[in-house]
Amino acid sequence: MSSPGAIAALAAAMAAASAVAALREGVRGWPLARDWFERAVSPLARAGSEAYEPTERERRRLWLAGSLLSGAVLLAVFGVGIYLAVLGAVPIVSDRLLAARRRRFHAAFEAGLGPWARSLGDAIGAGQSVRAAVIVSAPGCPAPVSGEVARVRADLETGAALEDALARLSERIGLPALDSVIGALGVAARSGGDVARLLHRFATANDERVALLADSRSATAQARMTGVAVAAMPAAGLAFAELSSPGFTTVMAGDEVAGSLLLVSAAVQVLAFAAIRRISRIQS
């Protein structure tokens, strides 16, 4: 065998051995990587199911996980240029996802306030103290109210003052409707009164308000989806052209006129999405 052939065979053997070793280490390290990714994306799940605000470290970990996942897809489909172009959007997208999950949690919590207020009113009307009413009301509440009221009950059972436990609940959730219930409970704890009747009236009004908001969202959903689909057509066409002819976007971006038109069209797309979101927003 000639010298170049021997070197090539040796290099191929070393490459094969390295690949086998890398695969073996990858299999061994997969559980650790999977656990890391689960911890990284867990703030998204928690933000939608409980009153949870991620720490800065958890936000950075989520950004890194988003960068790795999007990078794997973009590098495989579009190459390095597109990946670097959208890499800066990962923190923004992650924060928007967290905010969306938080809004969904607030909507679910507000929908459960009516049953909780009604349960509190029943317990207080039956002669129980406000503290006892809060403790016994947790099991009958819908999620996610039941989880947060259970935390209040745990605080009360460990000796915390009622005002402090309710203040922490208000700080975690940050909803004006919840503050109304907490205010009524505070008045009942300090001076009594017909708070049971007030809580029942609040429960009825809150249920009606939640139903009205749900009807409004349903009425605007079709128009909102139509607007988003129309606004996304140019971007979808560009992505299809890139998939059909790899390098098409790079060639266009390299041309002075075409690149300028791409930037203008991207700005118009962003403005269109922002306008659709603002027009279809329903104030709760």
| Confidence band of 165 (pLDDT split at 50, 70, 90) | very high
Upper half-sphere CA count for residue 267 (Cβ side, 13 Å): 6
Confirm whether 159 is domain-assigned: yes
Verify that 75 and 158 share a domain, yes or no.
Answer: no
Q: Quote the pLDDT of residue 96.
A: 81
For residue 218, being part of any structural domain is answered with no
Mean pLDDT score of the chain, rounded to an integer? 78
d(CA 155, CA 164): 9
Looking at residues 246-252, what average pLDDT do you find? 78
Q: Which domain holds residue 137?
A: 105-211
Report if residue 230 sits inside a domain.
no
Mean pLDDT of 229-255: 78
Query: Would residue 234 count as lying in a domain?
Result: no
Last residue in a domain, options 169, 193, 211: 211
Instruction: Of 26-30, 83-87, 127-131, 187-191, give the lowest mean pLDDT range.
Output: 26-30
- pTM exceeds 0.85, yes or no: no
Residue entry with tokens 């690149």:
259
Last residue of a domain, one of 49, 82, 115: 82
119 lies in the same domain as 32: no
Residues 64 and 110 in one domain: no
240 is a domain residue? no
Instruction: Please give the DSSP secondary-structure letter assigned to residue 159.
Output: T
In a domain, 148, yes or no: yes
265 Cα distance to chain centroid: 28
Mean pLDDT throughout 165-183? 91
- The larger pLDDT score, comparing residue 97 to residue 158, is at 158
* Cβ atoms 64, 71 nearer than 8 A: no
Show which of 154, 188, 211 is a domain's final residue: 211
Per-range mean pLDDT, top range of 72-81, 168-177, 216-225? 168-177
